[in-house]
Amino acid sequence: MAAYQLVVNGVARTVEAQPDTPLLWILRDTLNLPGTKYGCGRGLCGSCTIHFNGAPLRSCMLPVAAAEGAAITTIEGLSPGGLNPLQEAWCEHDVPQCGYCQAGQIMTAAALLRDRPDPTDAEIDEALAGNLCRCGTHVRIRAAVKAAALRLQQEASA
Ligand code: FES
Ligand code: FES
C-alpha cells in the first residue's frame, strides 16, 4: 500500500491503495463517487469515462499510481452548481433507458462540446463511438448533444 495525492472534482484527496488499483475502484469504493460505472473493466465500453486533465479517459484502465497530481473530474463534479446544458438536454430528450452507460456518455459528450462547440452528426457519432449502449439510446444522445450545443452557443452570445 502507498499513499497517493489526487485532485478529484477540485478537491485534494489522499488515498491509500496498491499502485495498480484501477482509478475506477478508488473513485467508487474509496471516495464514494459511484456515478462512474463499471462495465467491462477492459477499456471497451466507456461506462467508466471520466475527465483526466480535461480529456475523456477510461478510469478502469488507469492505475491509481498514474493519477497522482492530475485533475480528475467525475460525473458528480461535472456541474457542481446544478445540471449543465448537457444534463438538461439529456432529461428533455428522455435519453436514458437503464441508465448504466449514461454517465460515461455525458462525460464524453462534455469533452466533445468543449473542443467542438457545434459538432456535426458525424462528429458526435465518432466521438461517442467508444461509449457503448446496450439499450440503443444513441439517436437520442445525438439529439441531446445537438440541443446542448445550441443552448451553450445561445448562452455564449447572450
Ligand atoms: S468499464 Fe472501463 S471501459 Fe468498460
Ligand atoms: S441506457 Fe442502458 S446501456 Fe445505455
Q: Is the pLDDT of residue 155 over 90?
A: no
Strands (DSSP E) along the chain, which ranges?
2-8, 11-17, 49-52, 55-58, 71-73
Residue list, ligand 1 pocket, CB within 6 Å? 38-41, 43-48, 58, 60
* Nearest one of 27, 113, 118 to 75, comparing CA atoms: 27
* Per-residue pLDDT reduced to its tens digit, 90-147: 999 999 999 999 999 999 999 999 999 999 999 999 999 999 999 999 999 999 999 9
Q: Which domain holds residue 137?
A: 85-157
pTM of the model: 0.96
Cα–ligand 1 centroid distance for 23 (angstroms)? 11
44 and 60 co-located in one domain: yes
Cα–ligand 1 centroid distance for 58 (angstroms)? 6
Q: b/e map of 45-66 (b: 16 or more CB within 10 Å)?
A: bbbbbbbbeeebbbbbebebee
Task: Give the H/E segment covering residue 145.
Answer: helix 138-157
Ligand 1 atom index nearest CA of 38:
1
Among candidate residues 77, 110, 143, the one where a domain is terminated: 77
Closest ligand to Cα 133: 2
Cα–ligand 1 centroid distance for 28 (angstroms)? 13
Ligand 1 atom index nearest CA of 46:
3
Instruction: Report the CATH number at residue 91.
Output: 1.10.150.120
Task: Give the H/E segment covering residue 138.
Answer: helix 138-157
Domain count, the chain: 2
30 and 71 co-located in one domain: yes
Q: Is the pLDDT of residue 156 over 90?
A: no
Among candidate residues 77, 107, 130, the one where a domain is terminated: 77
